[in-house]
Amino acid sequence: MTAPYYTLLTNIGAAKLANATATDTPLNITQMGVGDANGTVPTPDPRQTSLINERRRADLNTLKADPKNPNQIIAEQVLPDNVGGWYIRELGLYDADGDLIAVGNCPPSYKPLIEEGASREQVIRMILIVTSDNAVTLKIDPTAVLATREYVDDSVEEHAKSRNHPDATTKAKGFVQLSSETDSDDETKAATPKAVKAAKDAADAAVKTVNSEEPDEHGNVKLGSAADADVVTSMTDTTPGRVPVVGWEGLGGYALQTTDAEIQSQNRLPTRFFIQGNGDADKHFGLFGAGVHVEYGTNSDGVEFSANMFVRADGNIIVEWLQVNADGSVNQQNRQMLYGPLNPPTAAQTGALPLSGQALSVDLNTLGDISAAGVYYQPANAGATAEHHYPVQEAGTLLVTPSAYGCQQEYTAFASTRKFIRGLNTTWNGSGPWQAWVEVINANGGDVDHLSNARFYQINPAAWPGAGAFAEQYNNPVAPFLIPFGRETPKDVSEFLPIIKAISHTEGYGYGAAVILGILRTGKADFGSAIIQIIGDNGNTAIYGFDINGTMNAPGNIVAGQGLYESGGAVRAYSPNNPPPSTIVDAISSGGGWWQDNSTGLIMQMGMVNRVGPSTNVVFPKAFPNFCIGVLVSLNMYVGSIKDSQANIRVLAHSNTSFDYGSGGDPETTSFWVAFGK
């Protein structure tokens, strides 16, 4: 009966093991995988390349030869207590390349988690039969995996029987080798009692020699030159060669009280830590505090150099470079207080624009000097008065910046966000002279003098501005282009008010003319007239007027489709039996062209066409506005005899703008065509 649980090599594993045996290159098996096989104990299959449902893969704890059977390899892995929650039914060994080398099954074993209250560490063991354990790399990485108890016990027992222990050092315990040497400087060996006795005997003999002669601390005790030097006699003793003590010149002890006169003395105050008490003689740095004095030296002229750094009681730090002449006078004194939260730099010191911390209460005309540059604010509408030359009576912010002649001003109103600017006309004189305030256009609109080089005027409303009934237009002050209420013309004076004007001329010819749409106010008790005017550069003009009663006034004839309205009130009427005289418009040359009857709208076009292929497109000189009735074509060349044409010409298609000319080919290639339409 076949064993139900076993391990076998996969096809990949068998091939790699055979190659390892043949080439004497060990197979490196590094990891073990475990799985639950999706709930059913599987049958190992050598064709497998992976487990059926792998739940965990990790480095091996142990890979070793069976001490009782060298042809068996034992692989072990410890499942820690924080891994589990599933059954173990399948096992696999993987090499360093990640290939499945061996696969096996096992009786279902549930691996609980610690959260389930019955957690445990579990050792999984797989055994492989190989021809030689030399074909498999046997090793363990104790830093990457948990060790089994058996592995630990074996390792401890093996280590205890060996000499594989660290040697002792001056910093750590360990094995030590004994030595009886008394003149060695080796620190890796321990002295025996014999060596200790020899050293003691030598010391006793040396003591006897010292006691039998006059004491000589240099010869016998080996003291340095400091043994002969004198110690300083005070905390300010600067005698050369003397040995300082704790507290000398404030070093290692309390800082020394130092007066202004001592700091500025020409007698070379030594380098020291010092304090000043802010008395009459202690005001060199303005307040009491503590500091460091560094003596630099003296030059050939007797000028003494020193540096000081002083921390005042208010927390500010002062640094100073001091030069004192031979007569005690100050030669040079460079001093500054370091910037910090307690001593922030001013705007002037850093080149920044000052920020005024107080509300504006002065006349804005007084803020024109370069020294007035800064940012100001007006918190109240009542404070923004015309008397103080505000551009608008509204709270806001004033920006004063350096500019020509002094400063310029920019005022931004708070609620309306309107912005105004102005500058000086000439050099500042104490209150001006200021230019008028000019408002900057914003999203809410404003007044402009003109727009130069504007490409077009455009609005983008959601609906047409001012759209509605005719009766509503006067009381609805909205339109794409609007001149609002408020214009009042003088009484008894006629005045023309242009609304839209365009001026143009023809290149090379001139004939400049202006077309104007506007309003004529007579200065009398009437509503005025809507005017369309055209005036040429020679002064000739025509004016068409429309009054509120519906009357239209024209300086010349009014031409309509079915009648002619003449000056003096006469009307010439037309009908189908009495059509108006034809008005002909044309553009014809030797190469063709077009002709139009304006009374009927009929258009006739003609031209020549040369064949360039079976189909040749011909564009009409003038597009038909409405439709093309048709196109006629006729050969227009002689080829040596008069006979029937072999070209088989025709019109293939036509539109309002062109037609396609079809021709069978040589020798007839040129045709004359005529098209009709409206």
Note the pLDDT tens digit of each residue in 632-649.
998 877 666 655 566 678
DSSP codes joined into one string, 141-205? -TTTSPPPHHHHHHHHHHHHTS---PBP-SSS--B-EEE--SS---SSEEE-HHHHHHHHHHHHH
Q: What percent of the chain has pLDDT over 70?
A: 82
3-class secondary structure, 89: strand
From 50-54, 209-213, 658-662, 669-673, the region with the lowest mean pLDDT? 209-213
Q: Could you give phi then psi for residue 196, rounded to 5 degrees? A: -65, -40
Contacts of 460 (CB under 8 A, 6+ apart): none
User: What pLDDT is stored for residue 640 in this prediction?
Assistant: 62
User: What pLDDT is stored for residue 158 in this prediction?
Assistant: 66
- Of residues 238, 243, 239, 247, the one with CA closest to residue 225: 243
Mean per-residue pLDDT over the chain, rounded: 83
> What does DSSP say about strands 558-560 and 304-312: parallel, antiparallel, or unpaired?
unpaired
User: What pLDDT is stored for residue 143 in this prediction?
Assistant: 40
DSSP codes joined into one string, 110-123? EE--GGGT----EE
Please state the rounded mean pLDDT for residues 497-505.
92
The length of the chain in residues reads 678
User: What pLDDT is stored for residue 140 in this prediction?
Assistant: 44
* CB of 127 closer than 8 Å to CB of 72: yes
Half-sphere exposure of 633 (CA within 13 A, CB side): 25
User: What pLDDT is stored for residue 437 in this prediction?
Assistant: 96
User: What pLDDT is stored for residue 484 in this prediction?
Assistant: 74
Note the pLDDT tens digit of each residue in 408-446.
999 999 998 999 999 999 999 999 999 999 998 877 666
User: What pLDDT is stored for residue 17 in this prediction?
Assistant: 87
Measured CA to CA, the distance from residue 36 to residue 45 in angstroms comes to 16
**Residue linked to tokens 């965990």:** 56
* CB of 245 closer than 8 Å to CB of 232: yes
Measured CA to CA, the distance from residue 558 to residue 420 in angstroms comes to 53
* CB of 317 closer than 8 Å to CB of 310: yes
Q: Tell me which H or E stretch contains 369.
A: none
Question: Which residue would you say has higher pLDDT here, 344 or 1?
Answer: 344
DSSP codes joined into one string, 221-242? S---GGGGSPBPSSTT---TTP
Residue 513 pLDDT exceeds 90? yes
User: Whole-structure pTM over 0.75, yes or no?
Assistant: no
Q: Could you give phi then psi for residue 20, rounded to 5 degrees? A: -65, -40
Beta bridge partners of 43: none
DSSP codes joined into one string, 568-615? GG-EEE-BTTBPPPP-EEEEEETTEEEEEETTT--EEEEEEEE-SSSE
Q: Could you give phi then psi for residue 624, rounded to 5 degrees? A: -70, 125
- Of residues 97, 96, 79, 76, the one with CA closest to residue 88: 79
DSSP class of 27 = B
Residue 219 pLDDT exceeds 80? no
Domain boundaries, given as residue ranges, for the chain: 7-160, 253-337, 347-440, 485-555, 584-677
Question: Which residue would you say has higher pLDDT here, 145 or 184?
Answer: 184
Question: Which residue would you say has higher pLDDT here, 246 or 677?
Answer: 677
Question: Which residue would you say has higher pLDDT here, 487 or 61?
Answer: 61
Note the pLDDT tens digit of each residue in 555-597.
887 766 655 555 555 666 656 666 666 556 667 777 789 999 8
Measured CA to CA, the distance from residue 53 to residue 30 in angstroms comes to 20
User: What pLDDT is stored for residue 96 in this prediction?
Assistant: 93
Question: Which residue would you say has higher pLDDT here, 267 or 7?
Answer: 7
User: What pLDDT is stored for residue 582 in this prediction?
Assistant: 58
Measured CA to CA, the distance from residue 28 to residue 141 in angstroms comes to 13
- Of residues 193, 190, 16, the one with CA closest to residue 99: 16
Q: What is the dihedral of CA 463, 464, 466, 470, to 10 degrees?
A: -120
Please state the rounded mean pLDDT for residues 380-400.
95
Note the pLDDT tens digit of each residue in 515-560.
999 999 999 999 999 999 999 999 999 999 999 988 888 888 776 6
Looking only at Cα atoms, what is the longest distance across the chain?
169
Measured CA to CA, the distance from residue 152 to residue 64 in angstroms comes to 14
Question: Which residue would you say has higher pLDDT here, 279 or 141?
Answer: 279
- For residue 110, the one-letter residue type is Y
* CB of 655 closer than 8 Å to CB of 628: yes
pLDDT grade for 230, boundaries at 50, 70 and 90: confident
Residue 674 pLDDT exceeds 90? yes
Residue 334 pLDDT exceeds 90? yes
**Residue linked to tokens 């604010």:** 377
User: What pLDDT is stored for residue 69 in this prediction?
Assistant: 84
Quote the Cα angle for 313-318-319, to 5°.
Answer: 150
Measured CA to CA, the distance from residue 208 to residue 246 in angstroms comes to 37
Note the pLDDT tens digit of each residue in 60-103.
998 888 888 878 889 999 998 889 999 999 999 999 999 999 99
Estimate to the nearest angstrom the gap between the alpha carbon of 420 and the chain centroid.
33
Measured CA to CA, the distance from residue 257 to residue 112 in angstroms comes to 77
pLDDT grade for 145, boundaries at 50, 70 and 90: very low
Measured CA to CA, the distance from residue 73 to residue 206 in angstroms comes to 70
User: What pLDDT is stored for residue 141 in this prediction?
Assistant: 41
Burial state string for 298-334 with b = 16 or more CB within 10 A and e = fewer than 16:
eeeeeebbbebebebeeebbbebebebeeeeeebeee
DSSP class of 278 = -
Residue 152 pLDDT exceeds 80? no
Helices (H), 311-455: 347-350
Measured CA to CA, the distance from residue 453 to residue 501 in angstroms comes to 16
Contacts of 169 (CB under 8 A, 6+ apart): 187, 188
User: What pLDDT is stored for residue 147 in this prediction?
Assistant: 47
Report, in this order, helix, strand and coil percent for the chain, each rounded to 5. Answer: 15, 40, 50
Work out the burial of residue 391: count CB atoms within 10 Å of its CB; fewer than 13 is exposed, 13-18 middle, 19 or more buried.
Answer: buried
* CB of 94 closer than 8 Å to CB of 56: no
Residue 36 pLDDT exceeds 90? yes
User: What pLDDT is stored for residue 161 in this prediction?
Assistant: 62
Note the pLDDT tens digit of each residue in 168-192.
777 677 777 777 787 777 777 777 8
DSSP codes joined into one string, 332-365? EEEEEEPPBTTBPPPHHHHTPPPEEEEE--S-GG
Estimate to the nearest angstrom the gap between the alpha carbon of 634 and the chain centroid.
73
Measured CA to CA, the distance from residue 24 to residue 272 in angstroms comes to 78
**CATH architecture, domain defined by 584-677:** Sandwich (2.60)
